[in-house]
Chain A
Amino acid sequence: MANLKAIRVRLSSVKSTRQITSAMKMVAAAKLRKAQDAIVQLRPYADKLNEIQAGLSAALRDTEIENIFAERKKGNGKVLLVVVTSNKGLCGAFNANVLRETRRIMSEKYGDLVKRGDLAVITVGKKANDSLRKLKCNIIADHSDLYSGLTFERVASLADRLMQFYVTKEYDRIEIVYNQFRNAAVQNLTDEVYLPVSMNVSGGTAAAPADYIYEPDQVSIVSELIPKTLRIKLYRALLDSFAAEHGARMTAMHQATDNATDLIRELTLQYNKARQASITNQLLEVVSGAEALNG
């Protein structure tokens, strides 16, 4: 029969663990709501921007647009990966998924580049930075501090840096690996090409915008809008990852709380059984002791 004291100690430790996980779940839920709000706030801007751009670029041919972010025929072939994880753990497979995908990309898709040292990494999130540094990846920058106040301005400056990398021909391709937010329980692991961009916006179902006045002119408006959409693209990816992180943490903590509850039930049962057994034992001893005296 298990030791009464040992069970009691274990029980109290599981109970306090449950308290922590359930508090974390509540905190994650509140943060998730905030993160989701930010995504919703971004939508009108992003949609309108896309609409204007789609309307304009449908009227123009791809070659007419001065797109310095278009695909290059000749280049050095260097690739930059932006790996987005969270700063904190305890969110299930959220970070592990991103890191596994990153390793897969580095060994399969860009195996040759890694050997030549032509693959660089920018990390967003301490978890990515810690784990990729251990793998001796070529990390050129870490932007984990973005999460303390995820505002558009700060993300935009990172986006501008990425665009700079591309325009100055330092890298020929930039990809982002991150978790896309579906709902609180589901994240879509995504490997997205950030640069180059094509101006051929799919569909091209623009409502004839013929009667607009354009200032300065269509071509320069489109060219000017490209960096704006790129900033939005990165901002959206980070907001998605941020919301997905809290969703994942909420789910993970919910599960942990459930497990702790089950464990507590089991341990309480064990404890009561053990207690009952020891009482029965003591009674037996008293009774048989009395009997021996009488006998």
Chain B
Amino acid sequence: MKIEIITPDRNIYSGEVHSVRVPGRKGSFQVLKDHAPIISTLDAGPVIIADEQDAEIRFEITGGVIEVKKNRIILLADSAVQG
């Protein structure tokens, strides 16, 4: 599935991934392939991506919103730093 992490300043990350863990408002949750469509607001916290080689990539976001639809994830972050 494809993910795009976008902040107002720039596109932080885009690519194919296996899974994504995000800090949802009602608790952290993981998105895997064929996840049901969801729109959720996000708290400040870590976004953890497992890319195609299952390597872990972490971003710290300060809040945002995520939309998952048909294996396409769009994460709008207020701000994000890798690490």
Contact with A along B62-82 (1 / 0, CB 8 A): 000101010000101011000
Say whether, besides A52-B67, A214-B40, A228 and B78 are in contact (CB < 8 Å): yes
Say whether, besides A215-B25, A216-B25, A225-B65, A232 and B37 are in contact (CB < 8 Å): no
* Interface members, chain B 30-81 (any A CB < 8 Å): 36-41, 65, 67, 69, 74, 76, 78-79
- CB of B6 within 8 A of CB of A235, answer no
Chain A's nearest CB lies how many Å from the CB of B21? 14
Cross-interface CB contact of B8 among A52, A152, A209, A216, cutoff 8 Å: A152
Q: How many residues of A contact B (CB 8 A)?
A: 29
* Interface members, chain A 201-243 (any B CB < 8 Å): 209, 211-216, 220-221, 224-225, 228, 231-232, 235
* Interface members, chain A 32-52 (any B CB < 8 Å): 38, 41-42, 44-46, 48-49, 52
Q: Please, how many angstroms separate the alpha-carbon atoms of A44 and B6 in the complex? A: 8
- CB of B79 within 8 A of CB of A52, answer no
Query: Which residues from B are CB-within-8-Å of A151?
Result: 9
CB < 8 Å A-B pair total: 75
Query: Which residues from B are CB-within-8-Å of A44?
Result: 4, 6, 11
- CB of A224 within 8 A of CB of B41, answer yes
- CB of A215 within 8 A of CB of B26, answer yes
Query: Which residues from A are CB-within-8-Å of B67?
Result: 48, 52
Chain B's nearest CB lies how many Å from the CB of A167? 18
For B4, B10, B24, B26, the residue with the greatest tally of chain A CB atoms inside 10 Å of its CB is B10
Query: Which residues from B are CB-within-8-Å of A216?
Result: 25-26, 40-41
Cross-interface CB contact of B79 among A41, A153, A215, A221, cutoff 8 Å: A153
- CB of B39 within 8 A of CB of A212, answer yes
- CB of A49 within 8 A of CB of B76, answer yes
Q: Please, how many angstroms separate the alpha-carbon atoms of A79 and B38 in the complex? A: 40
Query: Which residues from B are CB-within-8-Å of A49?
Result: 65, 76
Chain B's nearest CB lies how many Å from the CB of A227? 10
Query: Which residues from A are CB-within-8-Å of B38?
Result: 212-215
Say whether, besides A41-B11, A152-B79, A228-B78, A215 and B6 are in contact (CB < 8 Å): no
List 9 A-B residue pairs with CB atoms under 8 Å apart, sorted by A's residue number: A41-B8, A42-B8, A42-B9, A46-B8, A48-B74, A213-B40, A216-B40, A221-B41, A228-B78
Q: Which residues of A contact B (CB under 8 A)?
A: 38, 41-42, 44-46, 48-49, 52, 56, 151-153, 156, 209, 211-216, 220-221, 224-225, 228, 231-232, 235
The 7 closest A-B pairs by CB, nearest first: A215-B40, A152-B8, A213-B38, A212-B37, A45-B6, A45-B8, A152-B9
